[in-house]
Amino acid sequence: MSSRLDPQTSLGEVKLKVSQLERSIPFYEDVVGLKLLMHDEDKHTASFTADGHSVLLILEEIPNAVVPQRRAHAGLYHFALLLPDRLALSLSLRNLISTGIHIGQADHLVSEALYIADPDNNGIEIYADRPRDQWKRDAEGSYVMATDPLDWESLLALSEGVEWNGMLPGTIMGHIHLHVGDLRQSRAFYEGKLGFDVVGDYAQMSAVFVSAGGYHHHMGMNIWAGAGAALPSDNTVGLAYFTIMFPNAEARETILNQLRRSGVAIHEQANAIVVHDPSGIAIHLAVQAD
């Protein structure tokens, strides 16, 4: 039997490959509302934060970048920034409307969400959770979720007369949603080898959601890019890696030992511990700072 993840396990930074950093930096500052923490012109990278010190997002400009159509390969469907409350979501919605960007939206019952894409078609969700005592599960244990329309009027009314100053401290990387090549293999990896709990088995949607600590999902997996979808070439924009954050070194070591016993290759790269899921998606396994 596999070891379950520590319930305090969460997600950390996401790194994306982009085609034009000088275009992406103002997008993530002005449209998304993150703050530029570091811009290394020599390495063609930039990092972003909401609280001034914790990195949520890293961008790297790659040479001869290819920008594919969405749902074209395994990798990122979207990464999701979790805001501290509904007022913060209201302010983000007001700002997005002011930019003129196309906004998708959904009431997922467990949360309320806005959807946009960056200049390289990387998907972004900006959302706020409803209180946990309002989350419901069905008879099979899956969280009951939906894609109902948002109540825009009540959401916007919350921030009437309130000034937008970017994403607030307390914003975190809430979850990540992936295109994978094989849903069964991916579930076996994230559940059986990494120790996540399955909290959404949505066969009708060809999707599986997993989490730690009873969250509605830290990871979503789907085969909407097609069964057998493979990773694109290295010079294609999109997901470079995402990060699983363990509450302490002991919790990480427990899972690392489990991965070793399962025959999963573990690599150390520039002080990072890296594994790859069955679709080849890179995952950094990190420990939360004290």
Query: What is the pLDDT, as a whole number, of residue 29?
Result: 98
Check: CB of residue 242 under 8 Å from CB of residue 176.
yes
Check residue 16 and give its pLDDT.
98
- Position 212 scores a pLDDT of 97
Q: How much of the chain exceeds pLDDT 90, in percent? A: 92
Average pLDDT of span 124-129: 98
Rounded CA separation 149/215 (Å): 22
Average pLDDT over residues 218-228: 95
Residue found by looking up tokens 């969250």 in the block: 215
For residue 3, what pLDDT is reported? 63
pLDDT at 244: 98
Q: Are strands 75-82 and 123-129 parallel, antiparallel or unpaired?
A: parallel
pLDDT of 207 reads 95
Burial class of residue 102, CB neighbours in 10 A (0-12, 13-18, 19+) = exposed
Token pair of 271 as six digits? 């002080």
> What DSSP assignment string belongs to the chain?
-PPPPPTT-EEEEEEEEES-HHHHHHIIIIII--EEEEEETTTTEEEEESSSSSEEEEEEE-TT-B-PPTTSSSEEEEEEEEPSSHHHHHHHHHHHHHHT---EEEE-SSEEEEEEE-TT--EEEEEEEPPGGG--B-TTS-B----BPP-HHHHHHTTTTPPP-SSPTT-EEEEEEEE-S-HHHHHIIIIIIS-PEEEEEEGGGTEEEEESTT-S-SEEEE-TT-TT-----TTB-EEEEEEEEESSHHHHHHHHHHHHHTT---EEETTEEEEE-TT--EEEEEE---
pTM above 0.75, yes or no: yes
Mean pLDDT of the chain: 95
Tell me the average pLDDT across 155-170. 96
Confidence label for 1 from pLDDT (cuts 50, 70 and 90): very low
Region 169-184: mean pLDDT is 97
Phi, psi for residue 239 in degrees, rounded to 5: -75, 125
Tokens representing residue 76 in the block: 């990122």
What average pLDDT score do residues 270-285 get?
94
Nearest to 54 by CA among 173, 137, 204: 173
pLDDT attached to residue 7 = 95
Predicted pLDDT at 2? 55
CATH of domain 10-287: 3.10.180.10
Residue 128 — φ and ψ, nearest 5°? -130, 135
Q: What is the end-to-end Cα distance of the chain in Å, rounded?
A: 31
Confidence (pLDDT) at 270: 78
Question: What pLDDT digit, counting tens, does each position of 248-274 carry?
Answer: 999 999 999 999 999 999 999 877 899
Top pLDDT among 68 and 122 is at 122
pLDDT tens digits, one per residue of 48-101: 999 999 999 999 999 999 888 777 899 999 999 999 999 999 999 999 999 999
